[in-house]
Each structure stands twice: as structure tokens, then as C-alpha cells.
Amino acid sequence: MKNKGLLAMGIALIVLFIGGCIAAYSLGQTKPQDQVKTKHAAQLPKSATSNNPNLILVNKKHPLKQELGFKKVEMNGIPVSQTIQEPLERFMHDAQSAGYPATLVSGYRSKAYQEQVFNQNYEQNVSQGMSHDQALKATKGVIQTPGSSEHETGLAVDVMTNQYWDKYHNLEAKSDQMAGQKWLIKHAPDYGFVLRYVKSPEGRKSTGIDYESWHFRYVGVENAKYMTKHRLTLEQYDQMIKDQHQN
């Protein structure tokens, strides 16, 4: 009886040991990820809130149901939200002072104008020999459908270094090879702007839009610096904010 008791106790200890190892392994596998999420959430800027109008998310999955009401101003004939007038003026002024003058190509667009831009690009693709489906897919890859464009918020702008714009007069990703566009991309967060549609595969997957080296979106300085530091798109940042509020 004594031997049987010792055997049973030995088996129980072995089971407890194995269970403890499994639990420790599982904890070791999940804890770092949880720590990263908690760390990032704890460090979010104070202005990173779901009701911050500068962080409004507009895309194909989150289209505007109606035109936004905000005060518009014009910069060189281009309408933008009054919210971004001062930081955008400083951004472009400092770019010129650094030896890289730039052109504000596009700012606010109404839903009707966005529809016009979309249709023009589609028709251009068709004229180049694409089928209806091919032209539509190609257009959606570079231009948001009406109601889904950030330009309708007045917080998004297309800014191109004159090094490229004056020569090609076109918005192209390869403009980032120019020193002037590199300066704009690097220093945009200092003025509250982020490069909205990034080059990384993960970033492109989250936005659903091809890389655009000219499209900048105003989110505020602390948010812009945080997003840039952690390589977050607005879609990813928006989800992080929602997750924080749920916890």
C-alpha cells in the first residue's frame, strides 16, 4: 500500500510539473504581444481619441454619408480646411527655405468633383485599351470612389516638389527619388502631416491604396510623430484607438 501511495504521489507531481511547463510556455508565447499592445496603448498621445476631428477615417470601408461642414480657405487658389492653413503654410515655407520649393497641387474636393476625377481616370484607362473591369480596378487602385476620398475632409493635400512637378507636371510615386520630395516626406510630421499611402506591403494592405509619395494628411503634430515613429497607417492607428477604449 505504501508503494502504491508513493507511486500515485509521484505521478501527481509529474502531471503538475508538465502542466506548469505548458502554462509557462503559453504565457511566454502570448505575454510579449500583450505587453507590446499595452505599452503602445499607454503611450498613445492625449489627442488620440475617436472624437478628434483631425483623425476622421475616410476610405472605402468608411465613406462619408454626407458632405462635412467646415470652414474652407484658399491657398494659391486651392481650397483646404481652415484647420490646416497655418501648418501647411509653414510646411511649404520651410521647404522653400531649405531649398526645396513645392507646389500645392490639390486640396479639398467636393463629392461631385471627386466623381469627376474618378470618371476621368477611368475613361483614360479605357482609352488606353483596358476593358471595363480592368479600367475600373486600375482607377480604384489610385483614386478613391466618391464619398470615400480624404480630399473631401479638407485635411488631405497633394504636395509635390517643384523639382519634379515643373518637369513632369504629374503626380507619380517615383517623385520620391527627388531630394525635395524626400524632404517633404521626412519633415511632414513636424507640421502635423503624415504620408497617407505608404510603400510597405502591410501599409498598402491596410489602406487598400497604392503608394503615393505626394499625398499628405493632417492629423496633428503629436499624432503624426507617433504614427510615423511606429509606422502606422491611419487605419491601423484608428483601430489601436478603438482597442484602447474597449479595454
Q: Name the class of domain 49-109+149-246.
A: alpha beta
pLDDT at 35: 44
Helix, strand or coil, per DSSP, at residue 60: coil
Measure the CA–CA gap between 228 and 225, rounded to whole angstroms.
Answer: 5
Q: What is the pLDDT of residue 96?
A: 99
With beta carbons less than 8 A apart as the criterion, state whether 114 and 146 touch. Answer: yes
In 3D, which of 142, 143, 190, 182 has the Cα closest to residue 161? 182
Query: How high is the pLDDT of residue 23?
Result: 45
- What is the location of CATH 3.30.1380.10 in the chain? 49-109+149-246
The predicted pLDDT at position 75 comes to 98
Regions of the chain with pLDDT less than 50: 2, 15-16, 21-38
- 207 CB neighbour count, 10 Å cutoff: 19
In the prediction, which pLDDT does 50 show? Answer: 93
Cβ(125)–Cβ(138) below 8 Å: yes
Contact (Cβ atoms closer than 8 angstroms) between residue 217 and residue 55: no
pLDDT in tens, 98-137: 999 999 999 999 999 999 999 999 999 999 999 999 999 9
* Residue 142: per-residue pLDDT: 82
What pLDDT is recorded for position 9?
A: 54
pLDDT at residue 239 in the model: 96
Cα of 56 vs its chain's centroid, Å = 11
